[in-house]
Structure 1
């Protein structure tokens, strides 16, 4: 009986907010000068990331065409191809969506697009993060267990798992996101529409748990795995070099394996560094907002927009990193 009454109160509260209640802040959001600058930089980074990632895919295609018939891309190039596709997906979905949403301020796409684009946005964010994990795990195994890796398929199972988990973990977005209709500043019903998660969770801690799960899967877990893999690579290479100091003279050696291993270490470290620098400000602001929504009033609008733009640098940096180390 108590649960039914609580549910009815929640439904009534959501219904009243969806119909005619004005915003608590008293004013509807508008496109500010800093917002216009954010939109301009967002579309600039969109063009940059699209060009870089598409160019690398074309480069991979040329490498494939130059190979003899029957030969496939190397193990690492297969992994880089999927990371590039994931970054391109993130670029084509997240950046234009963020830019257009900042221009319109409110949501004009309707209920279906609200759910579908919210799903695609999170899916395209999961995919690059999980693909970075796959590359880190593969490179770690390639150095610590080279024979086992050489006798296996080029990470196809891990690649498939990364895409599958990305699609599954983004699934709740189809349920929790929806349209709400707020009153405008004159009190007229339906004057402002937005795509949000309002009233999708029965209790506040349900939303907190979902946010923490998403944050962990997108940032904490991938970062920890990359750090652990890099540590294992460094430890293995240190042991190898201590056993045979002559391997330090890599340029004079006909055996290119040690040199390739050092290049792998540099690339995985560069990936982890780029991932950390680009996404840390984004998630710090997100966590701060979860625990203190009033932070939006304490952090200046330009600073807020600038720190969120850091996340869009990651798909721009990645093709430069693996393009450089793939030469």
Structure 2
């Protein structure tokens, strides 16, 4: 899981950054999600394996850093999914205003604010272990973290109830609009060529909505078990039995590239360019792989 998440996400990150043809608002959000998934596979997965299955040998400071990065990267990943849902909602439900509301500059600013907010929140949430590394440990080789009941409730609301509610509401609206557009396309299939080209555009938007819908559904399926478990066990982060649901959440970072490969032709073309080393050729960054 760790190796596949790192390699696949590195491919996505490399080509989304390199190819200028892919610098669109939607792909910038996918790039940010790829960064959070890449860091999750590179840093969090190995650390969680070490923490749950063996003795923690990296010291108290690295234990504190692990919990800080865990909260930071997880919050950023959740924020990216919410931003992707908003992008899909505007594209489908208000397409006329999409070019002005979802510009590259605005999306970049939203991504930066998402990461800044995640870093700020994780600093507050893990403040105790950052100030006093190993303060919760009862013996050598232990790496644990405890938070107050208030902090657990705030975290549950901010990063489970609120984002899940926003995502579900937005995609219910997108689904209703997508169904109505599909019916309209079927009822006007014999209209003039101009209308037919418009239908092709709508089909493209509906396909993008379906792809992002699959991305979000898979995310929720991997994301919800941990928080549902935390409702039963408030000390779930330190419970060895909870490692399974933690890795279900991390497993999402492995599934996302498979979703890209299934629904995004540019991802398959990009992987082909990278594997065959054509990416090193001149003007590859201007190549049209859509």
Using structure 1 for the length normalisation, give the TM-score.
Answer: 0.68
Pairing of 1:31-110 with structure 2 (within 5 A): 45-61=1-17, 63-64=19-20, 67=21, 73-105=23-55, 107-110=56-59
Stretch deviating more after TM superposition (79-88 or 232-241): 232-241
CA shift for structure 1 position 212: 2.1
Q: Distance in 2 between matches of 1:305 and 1:118?
A: 14
Q: Distance in 1 between matches of 2:222 and 2:59?
A: 32
Q: Distance in 2 between matches of 1:247 and 1:289?
A: 55
Q: Does structure 2 retain, via aligned residues, the 8 Å contact 1:118–1:173? A: no
Q: Cα 1:214–1:116, aligned 2, differ >3 Å: closer, same or farther?
A: same
Question: Which protein has the larger Cα radius of gyration, Structure 1 or Structure 2?
Answer: 1
CA deviation digits over 1:115-148, x for unaligned, max 9? 3222111101111110010010011011112222
Q: Distance in 1 between matches of 2:128 and 2:76?
A: 20
Task: Give the CA RMSD over aligned residues.
Answer: 2.9
CA shift for structure 1 position 110: 3.5
Who is 1:34 aligned against? none
Q: Distance in 1 between matches of 2:151 and 2:43?
A: 22
CA shift for structure 1 position 312: 1.8
Who is 2:271 aligned against? none
Q: Does structure 1 retain, via aligned residues, the 8 Å contact 2:61–2:134? A: no
Q: Cα 1:53–1:291, aligned 2, differ >3 Å: closer, same or farther?
A: closer
Q: Distance in 1 between matches of 2:54 and 2:244?
A: 19
Who is 1:127 aligned against? 76
**Structure 1: 5+ residue stretches without partners:** 1-44, 184-190, 202-206
Higher helix content, 1 or 2: 2
Who is 1:325 aligned against? 263
Q: Distance in 2 between matches of 1:117 and 1:132?
A: 22
Who is 2:164 aligned against? 223
**Structure 2: 5+ residue stretches without partners:** 266-290
Q: Distance in 1 between matches of 2:219 and 2:65?
A: 26
Pairing of 1:1-327 with structure 2 (within 5 A): 45-61=1-17, 63-64=19-20, 67=21, 73-105=23-55, 107-152=56-101, 153-154=103-104, 155-177=107-129, 178-180=133-135, 192-197=140-145, 207-246=148-187, 253-255=196-198, 256-290=200-234, 304-327=242-265
Q: Cα 1:63–1:323, aligned 2, differ >3 Å: closer, same or farther?
A: farther
CA deviation digits over 1:247-266, x for unaligned, max 9? 679xx943431111211221
Q: Distance in 1 between matches of 2:28 and 2:243?
A: 35
Q: Cα 1:248–1:117, aligned 2, differ >3 Å: closer, same or farther?
A: farther
Q: Distance in 1 between matches of 2:62 and 2:134?
A: 10
Q: Distance in 2 between matches of 1:97 and 1:292?
A: 17
